[in-house]
Amino acid sequence: PGIALADWFTPSEFAFLDVNDEDLGSAGFLLVPGTSTALIGAGKEGNLYVTNAADLGHEWPGNSQITQQFYTGGAVYTSPAYWNNTLYLWPIGAPLSAYSFNGSTLNTTPVSQGPTSFGGSYSGALAVSANGTTAGTGIVWVTEPAGAGGIDSPTPGILRAFQANDLTIELWNSGIN
């Protein structure tokens, strides 16, 4: 009571996604810092969506109502991270990737990718730490299951740290002795 639906977005292929359990709701959306309307998220089907938070556009054939859509290489179960005009995402079965953001869209070719693919049953949860916007100080932190466990069968995890401007450089991980 007292709450009204203001706007919504549904991918045009929602029926296919629903039948195949590849829904968009598996990962949260990120409101891009420094913008008031750029909203970015992905789902189990592996598509990344850039939408306008001020006008989500409902549902249209081919998703023509949104700003951008492209395939990330694998299913996404966690929200992306963002720092210094770069979006970080680690889909299942695909490399940890960094995409540059120009203020309205993402470059669909990653500017950096990690050396290995995440092969677990869930994609890694991401966060970035840095000394403000100072170049060369960003660290992308990723937590991931160390085994094939999941919601019903917990498994130990690994915490990894990657250099934000060159994801091929793993600075540290909790599995190091």
Highest mean pLDDT among 24-38, 88-102, 138-152: 88-102
pLDDT on residue 130: 97
Highest mean pLDDT among 39-48, 128-137, 140-149: 128-137
Tokens of 101: 């953001």
pLDDT on residue 137: 97
Question: In the predicted model, is pLDDT for residue 150 greater than 60?
Answer: no
Lowest-pLDDT range of 67-76, 94-103, 150-159? 150-159
pTM above 0.85, yes or no: yes
Tokens of 111: 């500017």
Question: In the predicted model, is pLDDT for residue 136 greater than 90?
Answer: yes
| 104-136 burial: b if 16+ Cβ within 10 Å, else e | eebeeebebbbeebbebbbbbbbebeeeeeeee
pLDDT on residue 110: 97
Percentage of the chain exceeding pLDDT 90? 47
pLDDT on residue 152: 64
Radius of gyration of the chain from Cα atoms?
Answer: 17
Short-list 2, 49, 45, CA closest to 23: 45
pLDDT on residue 148: 63
